[in-house]
Amino acid sequence: MARQGLSRALVTASWLAEAVRAGRVGAGLRVLDASWYPPKERNARQEFKERHIPGASFFDIEECRDKSSPYDFMLPSESQFADYVGGLGVSNDTHVVVYDGDQVGTFYAPRAWWMFRAFGHKEVSVLNGGFKNWLKEGHPVTAEVTQPTPAVFKARLNRALVKTFDEMVQNVSSLKFQVVDSRPEGRFRGTELDQGLESGHIPGAVNIPFNSFLSETGHEKSIEEIQEIFRAKKVDLSKPLTATCRKGVTACQIALAAFLCGKRDVAVYDGSWSEWFHRAPPHYKVSEAKRGKA
């Protein structure tokens, strides 16, 4: 079987199903369910216990984060990440495949993919189409929760893949890098609330809603289609690029889409709008709603 996942950001359900059938999910290949949902809507951990890809472990994004931060899902420290994924049986030599069960196809999995890359792990892939299409294609599921053998993972944060608040503020005037915001258009423009927050965007940012890169079936669009989406928004993939969103999750879809086009250095503003809203000066929060009131 071709070692597709070791060199690609995406693996197909059929490729992973063959790996499951061949008994390859173990020390060399770890599958992680990175699902997360609003608590009132769905319970990701409970759904994992009820059915998941055989051999998979649950990657709890609520646990693998900086719990001291007032902002959602901020990156943990190197040691925290290393201890957490090591407990899931992931070493520096492990090929990791991440997926989630969101109905759009892929939602939180790219965040886990980016986290691994940010901490120096290159052999990580997203299951194209997610659990939704795994089920649709009739691949096996199980309720059996396996206990992986703990492994040693050494993490080293690649600072080039992470932007801080201060760097984002400086960029408003310096324009050293392009900024793409992956939230829905209404939240970007400031015409609808962003999960309880007043919405708007960082000056100079371009809006490409993350689901623009997904097909109707929930798979990633072709490289040619993705390139055209960036071109239509005048985003130059040959130049520095940073992605942002509400809390650093769907921004990772921008990083993944660009990665598929050969651009592997897209940074993510980890704090995203949740931090920007609380820390940026008023004139650095662009909102059509506020302009309309004025």
Residue-wise pLDDT tens digits, 181-237: 999 999 999 999 887 789 999 999 999 999 999 999 999 999 999 999 999 999 999
Tell me the CA end-to-end span of the chain in Å, nearest whole number: 62
pLDDT at residue number 276: 97
Calculate the CA dihedral of residues 91, 92, 94, 99 and round it to 10 degrees: 90
Q: pTM for this structure?
A: 0.95
Q: What is the mean pLDDT of the chain?
A: 94
Two tokens at 161? 């893949």
Domains of the chain: 4-157 (3.40.250.10), 160-293 (3.40.250.10)
From 64, 245, 252, 261, the catalytic residue: 245
Q: Please say if 245 is a catalytic residue.
A: yes
pLDDT at residue number 173: 97
What are the Cα distances from residue 204, in Å, to 94, 178, 180, 256, 272?
39, 8, 9, 22, 14
**Could you say which residues of the chain have pLDDT below 70?**
1-7, 290-294
pLDDT at residue number 4: 41
Kindly state the percentage of the chain with pLDDT values over 90. 90
